[in-house]
Amino acid sequence: MTNILAIDYGAKRIGLAVNNMLGVVSPLDFVKNDSGKLAGLKQIIRERNIQKIILGLPIALSGQEELAAQKVRKFAGELTALGLPVEFIDERLSTVEAHKRMLQYGISAKNRRPLADSLSAGILLEKYLQYAAKK
């Protein structure tokens, strides 16, 4: 199985998740969205032998791209410097699902915010792997 890095891009934090050879998805610590973000991502890619990046694309419930999608597409352009293929995935309701899961597991509201981005990335990766398995 291909090692994939899923990214949930945010203005302050970039949520991350990876899969292993068995397809098990694991959220990682987020990377701050600052000037060191690409260096941080490059290190993760090297350490985990990542071969593909999945990037959540903000799409409204109507099916139209949201304004934030422009920022995500610009970030995707920056990711090309890492030399890996980048695929977009519809991130609709992934953050809602992440918050539902955290409530289900009893994670306090105070602790949810820093976990939400990476858990959302994990949900995106689960969705991608399920879709790929059906092909």
CATH number, domain containing residue 12 = 3.30.420.140
Q: Which domain holds residue 115?
A: 4-134
Distance, in Å, from the CA atom of 85 to the CA atom of 112, rounded to the nearest integer, reads 31
pLDDT at 66: 78
pLDDT at 55: 97
Continuous segment of H or E residues that includes residue 29: strand 25-32
Question: Within 13 Å and on the Cβ side, how many CA atoms surround 60?
Answer: 6
pLDDT along the chain (135 residues), means of 10: 92 94 90 96 96 93 85 96 95 83 84 83 92 79
Distance, in Å, from the CA atom of 10 to the CA atom of 104, rounded to the nearest integer, reads 24
How many structural domains compose the chain?
1
Tokens of 128: 């991608």
Continuous segment of H or E residues that includes residue 1: none
pTM: 0.90
pLDDT at 94: 81
pLDDT tens-digit readout, 23-55: 899 999 999 999 999 999 999 999 999 999 999
pLDDT at 95: 80
Question: Within 13 Å and on the Cβ side, how many CA atoms surround 94?
Answer: 29
